[in-house]
Amino acid sequence: MKIRRNEVCHCGSGKKYKKCCGPKEASNVLTLIAPSTNQKGPFPTAIEEDSLFLATTISDDTYEQVLNMFEHILAELDESPLTYLVGMYLWEMYIQKKQPVIKKIEGYAASLHYITILSIPCISFTQKELAKMYHTTPSFISSTSSQMRMVLREDLASLQELLQEEEPEESIPPIRMAGEKHMWELTQLLQENNCNTEEEIISFVTQQLEEPSILPTSMLSKQQQAQRLIYDAFPIYGEQRIQIAQQALQLDPYCVDAYNILGETEHDCAQRGEYFKKGMDIGKEKLDPSYFQKGTDEMWNVLETRPFMRAKYNYARWAYEHGQLAMAIEQCKELLQMDAEDHQEVRYLLYTLYIETSQYKQAKRVLQTYPEEYSIHYVYSQLLLEYLMHGISPSLYRFLEQAMAVNPYVVSYLIGVTNRPVATPSFYQIGSREEAICYLDQNEEVWDKQPHLLQWLQTTTNR
């Protein structure tokens, strides 16, 4: 669980994290990577003190400038001390081993940021996003970070092991994946114990609630071992996640979720799409053809179909991001036919695709199929669609009022009254600024293409 320094501390004290457990937890990690250092305060005060230790070998001014720029960006992002301390450690290890000639300070700082976020749970950014923040190019980050990771491969592996050992108990998988893992484990046990009747299943499940157990690895097939590994990999960050996915593929070359993980962590755009498509194609081949017959709209309720459906959705998003809109629409429509309740929230992507391709009637049909009066996606989609279909209509004022009631911050960001942070929040509450930021991260482009609507929003809300 990611806790930022201004959040209420997880220990229950009621104090802010930075005033409570934050410094102590950062110190625990720092002790692992630099045992002689004493962490004495929250970011950035403690960092100035810790720099005395880790910067002893940073004699070159450009090396220090890279670190200073990295620190400055993290401070703007309100990141935790841990992120800086790990980045500082990696930077010292790198310059000790490589002693690079720094000609582009911004590029090296961005590359340092990138390899840091691959190593620990923190605010994640793409190379493109980091390039914008550091005023460099994605290609420079890609090449430099790859070189840095090669030089630091042993340090990164050791650091990952240490961080995993020190990880607090609140670092649990996302609820959805944790629940799915438990269902999967229970299914394997039911099959192994030959529970076929309803009475046998109920009795066995009741027993498991009282005395939980799982099958030993020795009793699992290679395919089952691979899937168990994948469930363990989902909540993990960094290189270890990739390594587990590769290990799963060694056990089962047809492990679909392994391709999902490799695609999610891949930095090459074309390769990412290939991973998702391969996972989707393999997943479909593995499933019984009856799943794809017309009228089958509850596939998500069958665990063995979920890796395939995840790959299909990932491929749809990739196709959208790379301008293959017709392909993305096709994938989304098929997913909704397979899962009418839309557990993956495919409808939001399909709506955006219909807007992008000016298929407004189809977009309206999506909203009518999934009415969510209190959803930020629904109310702002309704507002945008009304304008696209009817212009400045009487209904537009009513839809604006409804949207503002659900979340007023979206409009503030759209018309520039409030500057939107570069970073995407790790979590949000309904009706909050963070929710608005997450919504716009996914939908800002379709709004930006409507300057007259934005002008109307500004005029109307300023009255």
pLDDT tens readout for residues 142-167: 888 888 888 887 777 776 666 544 43
d(CA 163, CA 177): 22
In this prediction, residue 24 carries a pLDDT of: 46
- Taking the CA atoms of 223, 229, 232 and 237 in sequence, report the sign of the dihedral they define: negative
- By percentage, how much of the chain surpasses pLDDT 70? 79
Which one has a higher pLDDT value, 131 or 41? 131
16, β-bridge pairs: 8
Q: Tell whether the model's pLDDT for residue 306 goes beyond 80.
A: yes
Which one has a higher pLDDT value, 460 or 212? 460
In this prediction, residue 84 carries a pLDDT of: 82
In this prediction, residue 96 carries a pLDDT of: 86
Token digits of residue 412: 């503030």
d(CA 37, CA 362): 60
- Taking the CA atoms of 103, 106, 109 and 110 in sequence, report the sign of the dihedral they define: negative
Q: Tell whether the model's pLDDT for residue 11 goes beyond 70.
A: no
d(CA 96, CA 108): 15
Q: Are 75 and 45 in contact (CB under 8 A)?
A: no
d(CA 392, CA 450): 12
Question: Please, which pLDDT band fits residue 216 given cuts at 50, 70 and 90?
Answer: confident
What is the pLDDT of the chain when averaged over all its residues?
81
Domains of the chain with bracketed CATH? 17-166 (1.10.472.10), 173-253 (no CATH), 256-367 (1.25.40.10), 371-463 (no CATH)
d(CA 352, CA 369): 15
pLDDT by residue (tens digit) across 173-200? 345 677 788 788 888 887 787 877 778 7
Mean pLDDT across the stretch 214-221?
82
Residue 8 φ then ψ, to 5°: -65, 135
d(CA 326, CA 321): 12
CA angle 433, 72, 119 (to 5 degrees): 80
Pinpoint the alpha helices (H) of 252-340: 256-265, 269-286, 306-321, 325-338
pTM of the entire structure? Answer: 0.62
Q: Are 111 and 144 in contact (CB under 8 A)?
A: yes
Q: Tell whether the model's pLDDT for residue 281 goes beyond 90.
A: yes
Distances (CA, A) of 192 to 73, 89, 201, 206, 226: 53, 48, 12, 16, 18
- Tokens 């960050």 identify what position? 237
Which one has a higher pLDDT value, 200 or 360? 360
